[in-house]
């Protein structure tokens, strides 16, 4: 199962960077739209890693590695990680089950 998730992660990084390299649509940034499903289904590490690796690899491929590579990679990673926490909290608050509520409050203190 982990191999399949790794394959999806790598394929998504390649697709996101491919779309960004095509530059067909101005200001097109598919990273967060692809990161949200990983954040919802995966771990906090996966939700941080996908946007971080995608941003950093794009800068490496285009030759624009610098301080902003680190800043944007970390920022995108933290945004996706926050979504993972928020999605778990919302599920817990909306479902009303004790287990989901406990998980939600655990995520809030994450």
Selected residue with higher pLDDT from 2 and 37: 37
The total of other beta-carbon atoms located within 10 Å of residue 81's CB is: 22
* pTM of the complete model: 0.69
Q: What is the pLDDT of residues 84-108, one digit of tens each?
A: 655 555 554 555 566 665 666 665 5
């Amino acid at each position: 199962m982990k191999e399949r998730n790794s394959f999806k992660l790598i394929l998504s990084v390649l697709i996101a960077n491919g779309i960004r390299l095509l530059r067909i649509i101005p200001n097109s940034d598919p990273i967060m739209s692809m990161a949200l499903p990983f954040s919802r289904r995966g771990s906090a590490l996966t939700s941080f890693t996908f946007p971080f690796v995608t941003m950093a690899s794009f800068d490496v491929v285009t030759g624009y590695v610098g301080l902003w590579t680190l800043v944007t990679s970390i920022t995108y990673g933290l945004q996706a990680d926050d979504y993972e926490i928020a999605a778990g909290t919302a599920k817990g608050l909306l479902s009303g089950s004790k287990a989901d509520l406990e998980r939600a409050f655990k995520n809030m203190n994450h």
